[in-house]
Structure 1
Amino acid sequence: MNLTFTRTLCALTLGAGMAVALVAQAQSPSAEDQIKFRKAGYSFMSWNMGKIKAQVVDGSVAYDPAQVEAAARAIAGIANSGMGALFGPGTDEDVGDQRTRARPELFQNFPDVATLGNNMNRAADNLLEQAQTGDQAKIRAAFGELGQTCKACHDKYRAR
C-alpha cells in the first residue's frame, strides 16, 4: 500500500511538472512576437521620454508634475519588466513582418548587454525618484543620465 501511494505521488508530480513545462512553452512568445513586443516597449518608452523632454528640457509644453511622474513611472516599469527575455533565439534577424535593428554583436555579448541594461534600469528608477520630487533641475539631470544609458547601448548594438 505504501509503495502504491509513492508511485501515485511520483506520477502526479511528474504529470504536474510536465503540465507546467507545456504551459511555459505555450506562453513563450515566438521570435516574431518577441521582436514586436520589444519594439513596442521601446517605442512606448520613447513616447514617454518625449513627454518629459517637452515639459522639463525644452519647455515647449507647460510643466505638469503629475504627467511627468506618470511618464517616468511608465519608463521605469518597462525598463524593469524583463525586456531582456525578448532577445531570445531567432530574434537576431528579421522574422516574418518584424524587422529588427539589433546588431548581431548584441547576441554575442550578453554580459555587456546585461550591464548596459542594468544601467538603464537604475537610471530609469532614478528618473522616477526625481520626478516624484517635482524638482525640474533634478528631473532634467536624471533624464540626461537615462538618455546616456540608452545611447550607450544604441551606439554599440543598434543598427542605424
Structure 2
Amino acid sequence: MKSKLLLALLTVTLAGTAAAQVKVEDAIKFRQSGYGFMAWNMGRIKMNVEGGQFNKEEVIKAANAIQAIANSGMGALYVPGSDKGTGWEATRAKPGIFTDKENVGKLAMAFNKEANEMAKVAATGDAAAVGAQLGKLGGSCKGCHDDYKAKK
C-alpha cells in the first residue's frame, strides 16, 4: 500500500514538474495541436454520420483519438504566460480560461464525459446514436469556445 502511494505521489510530482518546464510557446503549440487533432477527428465522425456511408471502424478510431486527447491532461498546458503569445499561430485563449477555474473545470469535466461517452457509443456501430452523441460532444466544445476562445 505504501509503495502504491509513493508511486502515485512521485507520478504527480513528475507530471507537475514536466508541465512547469514547458516553454510558453511550446505549451501553446501543444494545445493548438491537441485541439486541432480533436477537431479533425470530430470531422471524420461527422463525415461518417452525414456522408451516407457509415464506417464503424473509422468512427471508433476517431472517437478513441478524441477520448485519448480529452483525457490527456491538457489543462496542464495553460501555463502562466500562455494567455498571450504564439504557438503555431497567436493563441486565442481568452484571459478568463486562466482565471475562471471553477467554471472551466466544470466545462472540462463535461467535455471529458462526452468524449468518453463518444468512444462507448462509437463501439456500438449505431450511426444514429453516434450522430446524437456527436451533437452532445460538439455542444460541450461550444460551451468552452463561446466564453474562452477568441474568434479569428
TM-score (norm 1): 0.80
Unaligned runs of 5+ in 1: 1-16
* Alignment partner of 1:107 is 2:106: no
| 1:114–1:136 Cα change, 3 Å | same
Larger Rg computed on CA atoms: 1
For residue 30 of structure 2, give the secondary structure of its aligned residue in structure 1: helix
Q: Which residue of 1 aligns with 2:51?
A: 59
CA contact (8 A) 2:29 2:87 kept: no
Q: Which residue of 2 aligns with 1:7?
A: none
Q: Which residue of 2 aligns with 1:80?
A: 71
Q: Which residue of 2 aligns with 1:145?
A: 136
CA contact (8 A) 2:19 2:76 kept: no
Q: Which residue of 2 aligns with 1:39?
A: 32
Q: Which runs of at least 4 in structure 1 moved beyond 3 Å after TM superposition?
A: 24-27, 95-98
Q: How big is each residue's C-alpha offset from its partner over 1:27-74, in whole Å with a ceiling of 9 and x where there is no partner?
A: 821111000000000000000000000111x225x2110010000000
Flag the structure with more relative contact order, 1 or 2, with Cα contacts below 8 A and sequence separation at least 6: 2
| Paired positions, count | 138
Unaligned runs of 5+ in 2: 1-9
TM-score (norm 2): 0.84
CA contact (8 A) 2:107 2:143 kept: yes
Q: How big is each residue's C-alpha offset from its partner over 1:76-128, in whole Å with a ceiling of 9 and x where there is no partner?
A: 00000000000110101114764100011111101111110010000000000
Rounded Cα–Cα distance in structure 2 between residues aligned with 1:113 and 1:26: 19
Q: Percent identity?
A: 45
